Amino acid sequence: MTLTEHARASLGERIGKLEEQIDLALNNCGEDEVHDFRVAVRRLSQALRVFGNLFPGKEAKRMRKALKPALDAAAHVRDLDVDSELLVRLGLRGDHPLLGRMKEDRERGALAFLGQLYLLRSQDVPRAWLARLELLRDVAEDAGGFARRTLPAMAADFFRAGRKAALHPAAAPQLHAFRLEAKRFRYTLELFTRFYGPALEKRLAQVREIQGILGRRQDCAATEALLKPAAGFDPEAQKVMRALERRARKLEEEFARYWKETFDREGEERLWVGYLSRRMPAPRGSIK
């Protein structure tokens, strides 16, 4: 399979998945639907980055830019869903005024998100992009060869960023930056799973675990920002803030421990780079 053929199939699959998630979110703007929409956008956006050079001009960048308003609106709603759930779990009573304001903000945010989805629908996005896939430049390079050439460098960047984050696990901005690095790495690996053996699934699970830990830590940072004004005068909010800070510290420790045990073992980076560099067995199954 050439790189162009693989890019066309991968992008087509991700466009179809995003179409499906838009329909689901328009039907029910619930927590799961908003989350799944965001994941579908991020997977498609990363594919557009990886295969962007095959499009004419800045076409891929324009496509990513067209999705950003809806992605930002979804992020606002998703943050409120996660933050309110976390606050209740840590002890904030259900009728606390802060949760009431967050619920109202969520309702407004959901309307804004739905408005962005209807705007995409009015432009036939992303369905209309399927036709643009025919514009991809024909490249004879084997898709597996492209993966061998591209993924090892990404793995090295991932390990470099992870070591840096693990040195200062209490630095929330640095952890968040590494979380984004982990997302990009994972979504790129997923583009090429069909060219690797079963061992890649285990490696992907390890990256997902890092993402999950760091995602929960980032949720703490976002929730702290919402709770901080009330914590200045409200004893109940102060108590929850202390619980939130303890949770954040535990997650930082969990990240540092998981990184050390899983990725920071002697020779682990070399194994990753070697695995991603080796010539693949015959492709298996369909694109996942």
Q: Judge whether 285 lies within some domain.
A: no
State which residues form the domain around 12.
1-136
Q: Is residue 284 assigned to a domain?
A: no
Residue 286: inside a domain: no
> Residue 286's pLDDT is what?
44
| Sequence-distant (≥ 6) Cβ neighbours of residue 181 within 8 angstroms | 157, 158, 161, 162
128, 182: one domain: no
165 and 275: one domain?
yes
Residues 268 and 208 in one domain: yes
Same structural domain, 60 and 170: no
Give this prediction's pTM. 0.93
Q: Are 207 and 185 in contact (CB under 8 A)?
A: yes
Q: At what angle do helices 59-89 and 31-50 cross, to 10 degrees?
A: 150
Is residue 48 one of the residues assigned to a domain? yes
Residues 131 and 147 in one domain: no
Sequence-distant (6+) residues with CB within 8 A of 64 are: 45, 48, 49
Total tally of structural domains belonging to the chain? 2
Residue 244 lies in a domain: yes
Q: For residue 195, give the CATH number of its domain.
A: 1.40.20.10
What pLDDT sits at residue 120?
A: 98
**For position 198, what pLDDT does the model report?**
86
Q: Residue 288 domain-assigned? A: no
Of 85, 101, 136, which marks where a domain is finished?
136
Both 80 and 186 in one domain: the answer is no
Do 124 and 17 share a structural domain? Answer: yes
Given 136, 156, 176, which residue is the final one in a domain?
A: 136
Q: Is residue 287 part of a domain?
A: no
80/201 same-domain check? no
**How far is it, in rounded angstroms, from Cα 69 to Cα 102?**
21
pLDDT below 50 — which residues of the chain? Answer: 286-288
Same domain, 114 and 182: no
User: Of 82, 105, 136, which closes a domain?
Assistant: 136
Find how far residue 238's CA is from the centre of its chain.
Answer: 31
pLDDT at 281: 55
Residues 109, 167 within the same domain: no
The phi, psi pair for 2, rounded to 5°, reads -75, 165
pLDDT in tens, 11-42: 999 999 999 999 999 999 999 999 999 999 99
Q: Are the C-beta atoms of residues 147 and 276 closer than 8 Å to each other?
A: yes
> For residue 196, is it within any domain?
yes
How remote is the C-alpha of 125 from its chain's centroid? 21
- Same domain for 131 and 242? no
- Looking at the fold, whether 178 and 217 belong to one and the same domain comes out as yes
